[in-house]
């Protein structure tokens, strides 16, 4: 199975997937930590894929999405974005809507707390 096949199988067989450096319990870069932290805080059940464990997956995910950076978040097989996009979507409430529209369970109160904590 090629890296592309593995990636496709992973994103299509899991509702929410985060390709990241490290794991959801031990992120190994600040950007991965931020996105995993948001998902964990919001109680989203997600599959984490540590790109540091496999160079073919690390490069393959960039080719698969045509997106140059990691982390990368997928919901229902669709690429949503990297750290900056997920941060903006979280703060605007757009991520809540995206999860709700796709039937992904999350803690709305936790999402509201993130926005409250980041309000100007």
For residue 89 the two structure tokens come to 């979507």
- Using alpha carbons, select from 93, 99, 82, 86 the residue that is nearest to residue 116: 93
Beta-bridge partners for 37: none
- DSSP symbol at 27: B
Q: Which backbone phi and psi does 84 adopt, to 5 degrees?
A: -65, -45
What is the sign of the dihedral through the CA atoms of 76, 105, 3 and 5? Answer: negative
The reply to whether 83 sits in an annotated binding site is: no
C-alpha distances (whole Å) from 4 to each of 8, 11, 61, 118 are: 6, 11, 8, 37
Residues making up the annotated binding site are 29
- Binding-site annotation, residues for [2Fe-2S] cluster: 29
């Amino acid at each position: 199975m090629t890296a592309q096949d593995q990636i496709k199988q992973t994103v299509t067989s899991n509702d929410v997937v985060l390709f990241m450096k490290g794991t959801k319990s031990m992120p190994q870069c600040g950007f991965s930590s931020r996105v995993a932290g948001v998902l964990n805080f919001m109680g989203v059940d997600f599959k984490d894929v540590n790109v540091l464990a496999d160079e073919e997956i690390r490069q393959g995910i960039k080719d698969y999405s045509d997106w140059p950076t990691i982390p990368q978040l997928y919901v229902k097989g669709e690429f949503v974005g990297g750290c900056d996009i997920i941060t903006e979507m979280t703060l605007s409430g757009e991520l809540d809507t995206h999860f709700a529209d796709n039937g992904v369970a999350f803690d709305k109160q936790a999402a509201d707390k993130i926005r409250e904590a980041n309000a100007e």
